[in-house]
Chain A
Amino acid sequence: GAGVSQSPSNKVTEKGKDVELRCDPISGHTALYWYRQRLGQGLEFLIYFQGNSAPDKSGLPSDRFSAERTGESVSTLTIQRTQQEDSAVYLCASSPSMMGETQYFGPGTRLLVL
C-alpha cells in the first residue's frame, strides 16, 4: 500500500504564528514517531506514539510543541508561537509495532519561520 505521507510538504510562516503538520502513517502500523532535522544535522527525536498507550513526549523541546494521534491513524504536530529556530524538516515515521521494527519515513515537512 501507500507509504507514510505528510502535509504540507513545505510551510513558510511568520514568527509567532502557529503551525500544524500532519502525518498519515502506513495502514496497520501501530507506532508513529516525529523527528526534527535541522539543516546539516542528524535526526532529533520529538515524540512517539504506540497504539493507545500514553505517548513518549520526552523529546519535545518546549511546551510550544504538542502532538496528537487518534487511535492508530493520523497524527498532527502543532508548534505554537513559532520561532526562527523551529525552522527544520519535520519527519514522521511509522512502524508495525514497538520494539526493533523497521521505521518507514515520510517525505517530511520543510518548515521555514521568517
Chain B
Amino acid sequence: DIQMTQSPSSLSASVGDRVTITCRASQSSSIYLNWYRQKPGKAPELLIHSASTLQSGVPSRFSGSGSGTDFTLTITSLQPEDFATYYCQQSYTAPYTFGQGTKLEIK
C-alpha cells in the first residue's frame, strides 16, 4: 500500500492568511493525487485532482502542485469556511489511501 503522510497535522492561521499543507507518498503516485476539504459533520469535498487541477466550482485561492512523492496544497487569502480538515489521497493504485488529515484552525 502507498502510505500518505501529511504535515503539519494541525495548523493555526487567521482570515486572509496564506497557508501550505504538504503531503508525502511512500512511493511514487505520479500525479494521481487529490485534495479534499472536510467541514465538521459534512462529507469531504474535492478541491484539487491530478495534483494541480482545480475542480470545477472551487475558488481559485486553492492551488496544488507536485508529482511523484511530494505534493503541496496552498490556500491564499483564507476565508472563514476554509477552517476545516484537509486530506490528500492517492488514486494511482488500489488500495486508494488518504493522508491522516490536517486540521486548520482559526488563530
Are the chains A and B members of one assembly?
no
